[in-house]
Structure 1
């Protein structure tokens, strides 16, 4: 029998009518916002399945914008996220895709347009109970929940890169809980997802990027 937590029964502490359509959606967008390397100028949300059919009534739209703004699921500002986005100069739009059906019913694609002409794309699923799963990042299939403090390392698929990453983590006394590598193809672009048991010193990113095969490193705090 699987273990069941109290949150599986009563759901998360949140603003909104649905743990899947509001809290889970916000968590996806919150993670997306943390992956932005610079200020987000505009964002496009493509909604699938039940997200596409019910997002206005369930407040999914306001939750997604609130997540990009950095709000947590219990933040009362979610109700006013459209107005706050306008005040901050954040542009956003929603696209309803009711054609593609071979997806999780609560799926959203997010494209972030950031300063310095940087574009980040990802796909997220709201998997119930306010939980979320990032399934794709910049065209590479990954798995990211945000349940642990996480380091995301974008690198070239080369020998020695993972050894360097684990050595750096060990050097600042980080205990790795889970680590997995996702790549397009052998020798191509790849992401290492490193989930750890404690908060992460921001200085680790500059040390990681000293390796010639590492393109970027991003810290995603637990949510």
Structure 2
């Protein structure tokens, strides 16, 4: 395994107590917030495995709420994030689940604002590093270390080519790309990680493509 900085080994600058159960949880929440693109009105946090067993002692639920509020791992407001969520008018529901999943440090976050909803599943893999493994039922593998766009589209000829053509015209370099679908000919998901943040003007062009249903963007963390 390659490390880019010393913080990949010792973990991020953070409000403790745990890099995996606190800092990692905050990053999962913050990535979910970034993908959702706005402050939600309602949040449901479902905790699995070790997260479910030890969340009170490690403040995992508090960290997830902090992330949803867009607080960084070292934000001094993190320990009091439930108070800030209440002040912001965000209803938070916390659930512990008994299901055994592939990774013990797993959280599912459901965000809602008006008619808009988003469901994200993330895992904390240690040292504050995380992966987003599911988005609205689609499987994916997203670390949050690079800017990314997530495109929900109809599974048909020409949609992927249309997106990559626009990126090429704007000289945006693709670092990683994955296309998945639940069923042939139905809805699909494109996950494209890039070397630089994609401008809103380009995102609007992608949203205008035939066959594209939704475009979500994510900053790097």
Shorter-normalised TM-score: what interval?
over 0.9
Q: What's the CA shift for 1:173?
A: 1.7
- Find the aligned partners of 1:71 and 1:133 in 2 and give their Cα distance: 18
On the 8 A contact 1:179/1:194 being kept in 2, the answer is yes
Q: What residue in structure 1 maps to residue 99 of structure 2?
A: 100
Distance 1:37 1:9, change over 3 A: closer
- Find the aligned partners of 2:39 and 2:77 in 1 and give their Cα distance: 20
On the 8 A contact 2:39/2:69 being kept in 1, the answer is no
- Find the aligned partners of 1:3 and 1:219 in 2 and give their Cα distance: 27
On the 8 A contact 2:111/2:117 being kept in 1, the answer is yes
- Find the aligned partners of 1:148 and 1:218 in 2 and give their Cα distance: 14
- 2:168 aligned residue (170, 173, 176): 170
Consecutive unaligned residues of structure 2, counting only runs of 5 or more, are none
Where 1:134 maps in the other structure, the secondary structure is: strand
> What is the TM-score normalised by the length of structure 1?
0.94
Where 1:102 maps in the other structure, the secondary structure is: coil
Aligned residues: 220
Where 1:55 maps in the other structure, the secondary structure is: helix
Where 1:108 maps in the other structure, the secondary structure is: strand
- Find the aligned partners of 1:30 and 1:37 in 2 and give their Cα distance: 10
Q: What residue in structure 2 maps to residue 134 of structure 1?
A: 132
Where 2:27 maps in the other structure, the secondary structure is: helix
On the 8 A contact 2:48/2:101 being kept in 1, the answer is no
Q: Deviations over 1:11-33 (max 9, x none)?
A: 11111111110111111111111
- 2:180 aligned residue (179, 182, 198): 182
Q: Quote the RMSD (CA, aligned, Å).
A: 1.3
Q: Deviations over 1:186-214 (max 9, x none)?
A: 11211111111112211122100111200
On the 8 A contact 2:45/2:95 being kept in 1, the answer is yes
- Find the aligned partners of 1:214 and 1:139 in 2 and give their Cα distance: 18
Q: What residue in structure 2 maps to residue 118 of structure 1?
A: 116
1:36-55 equivalence runs, <5 A: 36-55=36-55
Distance 1:128 1:28, change over 3 A: same
Q: What residue in structure 2 maps to residue 72 of structure 1?
A: 72
- Find the aligned partners of 1:134 and 1:177 in 2 and give their Cα distance: 17
- Find the aligned partners of 2:212 and 2:45 in 1 and give their Cα distance: 29
Q: What's the CA shift for 1:102?
A: 3.3
Q: What's the CA shift for 1:39?
A: 4.0
On the 8 A contact 1:23/1:130 being kept in 2, the answer is yes
- Find the aligned partners of 2:106 and 2:145 in 1 and give their Cα distance: 19
